Amino acid sequence: MTVIAFLGAGSVVFTRELLADILSFDELTGVTLALHDIDAERLETAELIARRTAEQLGAKPAVTAHLDRRRALQGADFVINAIQVGGYPATVRDFEIPARYGLRQTIADTLGVGGIFRALRTFPVLDGIAADMLELCPDAWLLNYTNPMAMNVAYLAATAPRLKVAGLCHSVFWTVHDLAALLGVPLDEVDYTGAGVNHQAWLLRFEHRGESLYPQLDALLDREPELRRRVRMDMYRRLGWFPTETSEHSSEYVPWYLHHDSEVDRLRIPVGDYLQISADNVAEYHTTRRSLLAGEALDLTRPATEYAPQVIHSMVTGTPRRIHATVANTGLITNLPDGYAVEVPCVVDRQGLRPEHVGALPPQCAALNRSFVSVGELTVRAAVDGDPRMVRQAAMVDPNTAATLTVDAIWALCDELTAAHGDLLPSALRS
């Protein structure tokens, strides 16, 4: 029987969607679902979701719930990682402290000082997960959803190279989905390839019946000036390739926008957006729990789009699929550094997940990716070497941070965030 462990199962909205997708496959209705969270109430809620989902779908999985991570990992075939170390309070600190220095952020989970410190909080937990998996389920795949995706996958590649890891994010899919809808083209008739780094990949192929869709997108942007008032559209028009993450995310990976009031207004950038998203997620958790305790049915009508259920189904049944995933760069993208994490097309079947060779990105895309990668490389190296100066150096080379703050302010900000996050950080980096 296939065993799927969920780490961070208390992220109930995400868990609900993944479980609905998994149990919708006929071949997976009898799997074992081993749920883990460090919060007892959230774990209980996740178990209620699993059992209610199974009941509504007519599935019969074995469901277990564990506060002890090792018990959840015992004998797992797949491990889905959706943890958020420090939770909502840590997210608030990542926004409020930089804001006092005049640093604007929108999502703060991938790059910038928010991404750096989220990574540093996450790395010690990843150490424990990797050690437990290599002991208890060494052949299992770790399917990571936790951000910062690229930093986390790169860190595991550096510290646990024997672990089988794939970072899963739906940004490439939803970019194509939304563009197809915008252009009035059936999604199932669109052929596409994305490559780069997670949250800053590029649509290198975007075609309908063998013809590029870029000319249609160009014509639409020429006709609709309001469509041009978004960061992604602005980047596309200047760089020639469409970025595969939202405008909110994209704005904080480059030095051009957030530092300027006029650009924030022109491109309608929602500064601090993730704080409200996080608060809404907390509220939805409480709503979902009340609904479950009242015996109400779950809404399971959302279309199946997440990659982890598809990956599991392909590996269990041999059904081939092509997805986009984050893996260590082993010459897959030749003008990005080897060893760091890249997002590329991958084939998935019973043999596992096999990334495709992409070659060189367009030079302007690679140039932006390299500035993105530099922040992550320094953050990973800071943790591996135990060097707190390198944390500050990562912030110094971050595009948005460097465009906004003096070097003295960057160091002072890192000092304050280090003190604020305290023992959530690796011990060698708490100074």
Place of tokens 């789009």: 305
The amino acid at 189: E
d(CA 377, CA 47): 37
Burial 350-380 (b: 16+ CB within 10 A, else e): eeebebeebeebeeebbebbbbbbbbbbbbb
SS3 128: helix
d(CA 246, CA 152): 20
**Other CB atoms within 10 A of residue 385 CB:** 12
CB 13 within 8 A of CB 44: no
The amino acid at 196: G
d(CA 171, CA 283): 24
d(CA 73, CA 139): 12
Bridge partners, 211 (sequence order) = 208
Q: What is the DSSP string of 213-235?
A: SHHHHHHHHHH-GGGGSSHHHHH
Identify the CA nearest to 32 among candidates 77, 58, 62, 53: 62
Determine the Cα angle at 349 with ends 343 and 350, to 5°. 130
CB 327 within 8 A of CB 187: no
Where in the sequence numbering do the catalytic residues fall? 170
C-alpha dihedral sign at 165, 170, 175, 181: positive
Would you say 147 is a known binding-site residue?
yes
Q: Considering only CA atoms, give the Rg of the chain.
A: 21
Categorise residue 422: left if φ over 0, alpha if ψ from -120 to 50, beta otherwise. Answer: left
Place of tokens 């006709």: 223
**Other CB atoms within 10 A of residue 163 CB:** 19
Whether the bond into 148 is cis, omega within 30 of 0: yes
Which tokens is 224 given? 């609709």
Angle between helices 171-183 and 214-223 (to 10 degrees): 60
**Annotated binding residues for Mn(2+):** 169, 199
**Annotated binding residues for substrate:** 147
**Annotated binding residues:** 147, 169, 199
